[in-house]
Structure 1
Amino acid sequence: MTAGQISGPKTPPPERQQELWNTVFGENYQAIGEEEELNTGGRPIWLFALVGSVVIAMAGVVAWAFLAGPLASAADDGDATAQAKPTASQGGTTTKPTSTRRRLPKYTGQASPVNGTITDQAAALVVPRLGGAWRQDTRTDKIRTAYGYTTRQYVAAGTDPTGKPQFAQVMTGPLAQSLSSKYTSPDKLATVVSAVAYQARIKFFPSGNTIVKTVQQKMTVNGNKAELMAYQVTAGDAKTTMVVAAIDTGARLPSIVYMSVPDSKRELRPDINTVFSQVRVNGA
């Protein structure tokens, strides 16, 4: 049917019919269902739809790869170190402060008197015998089995947050055989000190304690290489200053000086300076 074939009792003239037809459908109208309606430039619409879908899917895959997929880690390399830092260990949390002292500070207050020396033959060390409130533990076998050292001086310091007795104490001895793999050379004693400190947290402090390293100092004792680290250990509301030194004595394993002073006996902290300034290698 064409525009000119429209008829009826009030049919407009052919020219008017064609004008109305073009107004409603447009001059280039073609009936629905004809072949050209399904073709654009000779290519089927389904092909363009398929290509479009593939492009969108690929864009989505690329976006996923960079945002959440395998390429995300490469994009985040700048922050990986910070995110991967451990915040807790079996013994509690270890935190490294923004700045660590390079020398043991001089603690203020009156130091305890020194009443001679104590010689540790097994560790080849000589340390000052502290007087005042300090006592020497003479239970040789007990010191070895309970503490893992060969000499011990102590002051009772109440109880820790779990109700267990705690002490200010100074102990000496060779590096424990269980930690012998941590020692490789006199130039690398920091690993030894860290291992001793970690073991002390497990043996002498309540579980869940936290620790902050406050001092790391290379030193010499009678010309022998040594490394010292100081820490603040926190268990509940109780804080303790802990100092560990590893000293090369020429033996197969280095020797250890361990000292801890709870804040309940903070007046004894000047004795830390006394011990670590007067320790000597026996016979050196």
Structure 2
Amino acid sequence: MSDEGERGGRWADMSDDSADREESARVTVPDVEGSEPAGRTDFSGPSPLEQARQAEDVKVAPVADGPAAQEDDELFAGEGDPQYAGVAAPGPAGPVRPGKPSSGNWQMPDWMADEDAADSKLGRQGDLDEGGRSKLALYGGVGLLVVALLAAGGVYLFKQRGGAAEAETKKSSTDQEAAPEVRMPAEKPLRKFAGRPSRILGGVTDPQSGLVYPRMAGPWQVPTKKNKLGTPGWSGQQVLVTERTGRQMWYGQLLTGVLNPSLQSEYKGPESVPAVAVQAAKGIEAQYYAFPHKSTPLASQALNVDGRKGWLVASYLTYKRAGVKATGEVVATAVIDNGKPAPAVAFASVPNTHKSLWPDINRFMAQLKVAA
């Protein structure tokens, strides 16, 4: 009685295996006693044909090993063609004996034999050390090399520093672009629904969220292992079963817990509560109502919970689900500064088949308190 492939819905199957599927689809935080309903949609895995396709090995073309490869090897095989035999280099047959050059009567001129005269003839300066111009050229070359290396090092450091600064600028720009921009809905208080709310049996302290919430009398129920009404991710829970078809059911909820870890980095203290509340409401809607529906804003208002700042966002969701009589429901999400690193979250939902219990949403939110 659910659409194939949809996720995280609220059409719950009371069988054990479907309960396990729903548990894997929702966030994991401290759970209350009891297992969760299976959710409003089912999951479907890959088909046997798809699994068989995924299991096939990837075939790789073999390396060529045929006549072409053998021909390449034959190019370097054998003794070679005698027409291209090596040629012996001409030279003396025996050992070489010392002899005299053809100009054996050559003698060094007197001016060359005299070192000072040679220096004068060659234009060498007297104040130069041995090596003369060669040493000057050497020293000059080394000096130029040092200057070039220093210049190159300066350019490298400049580029490195400039590149690091540019990378830091780009990173900061990317971080700013990645930060989600929250569009706050128009401020509007939640209307007071007509009718008499359910009787309150007392207050329940939720140590995880740091809230004290009102416990409603029947038809609200507390999840147990026997009724399997628990929803993972919430430490305080009350469930209102509105429809049953075999092992499947549709329901409303009154929940308390801690802000989802994925949003905790967005919480910057009491002043960030309104923006975080809008994000939390969108996240819950996407998770629990992951099927075609329309959302109409009902409220966006400040809350004062024992002097601490809170914010409430409410909407009316409409939908058409096969086998479900309800065509819509009121949902409300509140984020409350509880004095802890992660704020508290309260959530309420009641389908339109039980409009007479919509006042319970007003009472639940109005009587939230911060635990001492």
Question: Counterpart amino acid of 2:344?
Answer: S
Corresponding residue for residue 281 of structure 1: 370
The question of 1:211 aligning with 2:295 is answered: yes
Distance 1:112 1:132 in 2: 8
Q: Does the residue aligned with 2:334 lie in a helix, a strand or coil?
A: strand
Corresponding residue for residue 201 of structure 1: 285
Deviation at 1:272, TM superposition (A): 1.0
The structure 1 residue matched to 2:219, chosen from 133, 147, 150, is 133
Corresponding residue for residue 80 of structure 1: none
The question of 1:110 aligning with 2:196 is answered: yes
**C-alpha contact 1:167 1:262 (8 A) present in aligned 2:** yes
**C-alpha contact 2:229 2:239 (8 A) present in aligned 1:** no
Q: Does the residue aligned with 1:123 lie in a helix, a strand or coil?
A: coil
Distance 1:195 1:147 in 2: 20
Question: Counterpart amino acid of 1:242?
Answer: V
The question of 1:149 aligning with 2:238 is answered: no
Give deviations 1:182-202, integer Å, cap 9, x for gaps.
312211212222222222223
Distance 1:234 1:152 in 2: 24
Question: Counterpart amino acid of 1:193?
Answer: A
Distance 1:191 1:149 in 2: 21
Distance 2:365 2:288 in 1: 21
- Bigger drift between 184-193 and 253-262 goes to 184-193
**C-alpha contact 1:119 1:282 (8 A) present in aligned 2:** yes
Corresponding residue for residue 84 of structure 2: none
Corresponding residue for residue 25 of structure 2: none
**C-alpha contact 2:331 2:350 (8 A) present in aligned 1:** yes
Deviation at 1:118, TM superposition (A): 1.3
When residues 138 and 179 of structure 1 are mapped into structure 2, their CA distance, relative to the original with a 3 A threshold, is: farther
Gaps of 5+ in 2: 1-183, 322-326
Matched residues, percent identical?
28
**C-alpha contact 1:173 1:257 (8 A) present in aligned 2:** yes
Distance 1:173 1:239 in 2: 24
Distance 1:216 1:252 in 2: 24
Distance 2:274 2:296 in 1: 15
Question: Counterpart amino acid of 2:190?
Answer: L
Q: Which has the higher contact order (CA 8 A, sep 6+)?
A: 2
Question: Counterpart amino acid of 2:243?
Answer: G
Corresponding residue for residue 311 of structure 2: 227
The structure 2 residue matched to 1:248, chosen from 326, 337, 351, is 337
Corresponding residue for residue 123 of structure 1: 209
Question: Counterpart amino acid of 1:244?
Answer: T
Corresponding residue for residue 346 of structure 2: 257
**C-alpha contact 1:205 1:235 (8 A) present in aligned 2:** no
Distance 1:124 1:110 in 2: 28
Give deviations 1:141-175, integer Å, cap 9, x for gaps.
x888x441111101112279xx9632111000111
Distance 2:297 2:244 in 1: 24
**C-alpha contact 1:154 1:167 (8 A) present in aligned 2:** yes
Distance 2:283 2:293 in 1: 12
**C-alpha contact 1:182 1:195 (8 A) present in aligned 2:** no
| Larger relative strand fraction | 1
The structure 1 residue matched to 2:360, chosen from 271, 274, 278, is 271
What is the TM-score of this pair, normalised by structure 1?
0.59
Corresponding residue for residue 172 of structure 1: 256
Corresponding residue for residue 158 of structure 1: 243
Deviation at 1:180, TM superposition (A): 1.2
**C-alpha contact 1:244 1:258 (8 A) present in aligned 2:** yes
Gaps of 5+ in 1: 1-95
Give aligned pairs, total: 182
Distance 2:229 2:262 in 1: 17
Distance 2:308 2:253 in 1: 24
**C-alpha contact 1:157 1:264 (8 A) present in aligned 2:** yes
